[in-house]
Amino acid sequence: NAGVTQTPKFRVLKTGQSMTLLCAQDMNHEYMYWYRQDPGMGLRLIHYSVGEGTTAKGEVPDGYNVSRLKKQNFLLGLESAAPSQTSVYFCASTWETGGRTGELFFGEGSRLTVL
């Protein structure tokens, strides 16, 4: 039972390069999220999706794009990486309904360094 899987787990980029982080969940969840974690700032929401084909902006969306072409996958893209995007990125997912209100299931994180 894999749960939420993020790839890659580590990546080093140069300023201006692009990359995509992949999040895959096998729990048939409707809702998926991308957060970034920075020291002393907790987790901040970048983008989220309430279902296949839908995306929405979170608290810190600038410099990122997302896509949800398949229900089980949520991709986070950086078109032109900047040092300020050095962070640990977490994907999470949850149900739409069913009494299991609010619990998020997290992946193990992707550590990105932008030089």
Partner 1 sequence: AQSVAQPEDQVNVAEGNPLTVKCTYSVSGNPYLFWYVQYPNRGLQFLLKYITGDNLVKGSYGFEAEFNKSQTSFHLKKPSALVSDSALYFCAVRDVNRRGRQLTFGSGTQLTVLP
Which residues are at the interface with partner 1 (CB under 8 A)? 4, 31, 33, 35, 40-45, 48, 50, 56, 58-59, 90, 92, 94, 101-109
By CB atoms closer than 10 A (0-12, 13-18, 19+), residue 87 is: buried
Phi first, then psi, for residue 85 (nearest 5°) are: -95, 5
Structure tokens at 90: 């977490």
Q: How far is the CB of 44 from partner 1 (least distance, A)?
A: 8
Q: How far is the CB of 66 from partner 1 (least distance, A)?
A: 13
Q: How far is the CB of 80 from partner 1 (least distance, A)?
A: 26
Structure tokens at 57: 């902006």
CB nearer partner 1, residue 19 or residue 104: 104
Structure tokens at 112: 């990105």
CB nearer partner 1, residue 15 or residue 41: 41
